[in-house]
Each structure stands twice: as C-alpha cells, then as structure tokens.
Structure 1
Amino acid sequence: MIDTVIVRRVGANEASACISALADVLVDCVEGGASVSFMWPLSHDKAQAFWRNVAEGVARHERALLIAEDANGAVLGTVQLVLAQPENQPHRADVAKMLVHRRARRQGVAQRLMAAVEEAARAEGKTVLVLDTVTGGDAERLYARAGWQRVGTVPNYALMPDGAFCGTTFFCKQLDAA
C-alpha cells in the first residue's frame, strides 16, 4: 500500500484545476480495458469534456468528487458520489467512476477511495449507496471485500472499450447515519 497517498474531496474550483490530470487517469483506465462508459480509443479532449461536466456538477452540489494523490500531488485515482437523486430518494447516492491509474493499482488506492467516498456519503446524510461494475472484474471483488452487497447481474449490459459485451453487477451498501 502506498503510505503517502492522500485521498480528499475537492471543491468546484479545484475540480476544474484537476481536469487534465483526471482525463489522464480516465484515458489510462479505458486504454487498459476498463468498461467505464467510454470506448477505445478515447481522446484526451473527450475525457476532458467529461471532467468539465463533472466539475460543473460539483459546483451545483450534484456530485462529490474525491481524488487520490501521491506525495508530489499527482492524481492516482478518483471516485464520485452522485448526490442529485429524485425527491423520494434523499437518503441515497450513487458511487460512480471509481478509477485508479494502472501505475497505482494493487497498492490500496481503490480501497482508500471507497472508504473516503463512504465517509463523504455519511457527511451528506446518505445512508443507501448503489454502484455497478463489470461482472467478474477486479472491482467486483474489491466491493465485495469492502462489505458491499451484491444485488444482481445483468448479462450484456454494456460494452468493453474494445466493443465486446460485458455483464454488469449491481451492489448496494447500507450506511449508519453520521
């Protein structure tokens, strides 16, 4: 595990300042085969446009953005908490785009991001979290180890970056109130 990794929530201005670094992480993950809503090849411009939209959502308090950085301030990973939910679900949030650059994998970064996003959810008064991930992937095992409950799988739900179909497994987690 990288002891010098700092995981923190960033505000709208800081999110905007991190767009290029976050785009690098996203492009790396897609290039590495992660099914995270994008196809390969993914241009840096398209990845930056995605992160600009995320930063705008942070500014509107529709999402929380967390980043993992090394001691030099390089972004190693990120995760989002989608706060904007229908009015009958004020207690719920979605965990989205949990991404770790390939150079930082298998060092505890994802585990730390997940713990931090759960704390951010508690701070926002959220007690039910939901996420989805590629069936059979490393992230599925990570979530199960972190105490998330597997609630179902949908075959052929999405495409891998190379165009192959993949199943998606849905998870939820009940949190104690802050």
Structure 2
Amino acid sequence: MIVERLNAAQVRAHAQELADLLVETVHSGASVGFLAPLDGPEALAWWRGRARGVAAGELAVWAAREGTRVAGTVSLAFADKPNSRHRAELVKLMVRREARGRGLGHALLDTAERAAVASGVTLLHLDTETDSPAERLYRAAGWTPLGAIPDYAASPAGVLRPTTVYYKQVGAPALTG
C-alpha cells in the first residue's frame, strides 16, 4: 500500500477514482455528507471542486493505493482565521469495502496526523456518526470523544442521526509571548 499526498493537479487527475470511492462509501451507508443515491457525476464534481482548496492551501488530500486502484483517502481542512491556525479538521476518511480491516484506515489517520504536526498543527478535530464503525477506529487511534450532538446530520438514507465530536492533540502548542 502506498499513501501519497495529492497536489491540485493530481486531485483532478484522480477525481474519477476518488468519486467512485465516495459513491461506494455513501452507498455502503457511511455518513460522509451525502445522501443516497449519490450519482457519479455529482461525486466527480465534488472532488473536482476539492482541487481548488488544495491549490489554495486550505485542504490537504491523501490517497492510498493498493496496486493501481485508490483504496482509501483522507483530508485535512486547515483553519483560515489567525486565532485558529494551530488546528485542522480531519475530513472524508474513506476506505473501500474490500480494503477494510487491513489497517488502511489507521495508516491514513497516521499519515494525516504526522503531516499536521509537520505543518505546525497541534490540534485535530472531527465529527462522525455516533455508533458508526468509524468510532472504533478513532478511539483505537487515541482520539478523545467530546460528546454527541443529537440529530446533527442525515444518514445517506435521510434519517437524522447523532454525531460524536472527537479531538486529538498531535503536537506541542507554540508558546507566544
């Protein structure tokens, strides 16, 4: 397995594979911000739109490959305000169904966490559907649950579900004086 950070041109070049992964993820019931049925053109347009954020330095995207196929992805969304540049949001961690259970989710998390530290980020946060399989991954990787918000987001089936917010301190805070 190879995990690589994608630049804007690479996000555009791999947009179809990333879109296919997004469609599969939504159709498998994972709550990643989209409702089912998600069609390919909508997912492709969404991924192509991410290239702008990557080019602007607002978003970092990694893709994991098993052979020639994208098997997973994760992104970091960087804060844009001066008082919050020490933090980032972990978003859109997705792993193909057939690649699950082999450590790919942990590898993607570890990659994003190390990159966050290298870029000066000391605090990460995320939200995920309460009682989802993703919660086991985040807890095993040392993320701390903050609490659940009832009826926060709709599942792919359109049912309102609670969301648990997590955080993880990944580096030493910078001292100001």
5 Å matches for 1:6-85? 6-70=2-66, 72-85=67-80
Question: Is it true that 1:165 corresponds to 2:156 in the alignment?
Answer: no
Instruction: For residues 36-74 of structure 1, give each alpha carbon's deviation from its aligned partner in whole angstroms, at most 9, with x where no partner exists.
Output: 11000101010011101111110111100011101x221
Query: Identity of counterpart residues, as a percentage?
Result: 44
2:123/2:171 contact within 8 Å kept: no
Structure 1 portions without partners, runs of 5+: none
In the TM superposition, residue 124 of structure 1 has moved relative to its aligned partner by 1.1
Q: Distance in 2 between matches of 1:73 and 1:91?
A: 35
In the TM superposition, residue 23 of structure 1 has moved relative to its aligned partner by 0.2
Inter-CA distance 96–13: structure 2 relative to 1 (3 Å threshold): same
Find the residue that maps to 1:119 and give its secondary structure.
Answer: helix
Matching residue's letter, 1:123 = A
Question: Is it true that 1:114 corresponds to 2:105 in the alignment?
Answer: no
How many pairs align? Answer: 173
1:135/1:167 contact within 8 Å kept: yes
In the TM superposition, residue 85 of structure 1 has moved relative to its aligned partner by 2.8
- Give the alignment partner of residue 123 of structure 1, picking from 110, 118, 124: 118
In the TM superposition, residue 84 of structure 1 has moved relative to its aligned partner by 3.5
**2:131 corresponding residue in structure 1:** 136
In the TM superposition, residue 176 of structure 1 has moved relative to its aligned partner by 1.8
- Give the alignment partner of residue 81 of structure 2, picking from 69, 83, 86: 86
In the TM superposition, residue 177 of structure 1 has moved relative to its aligned partner by 4.4
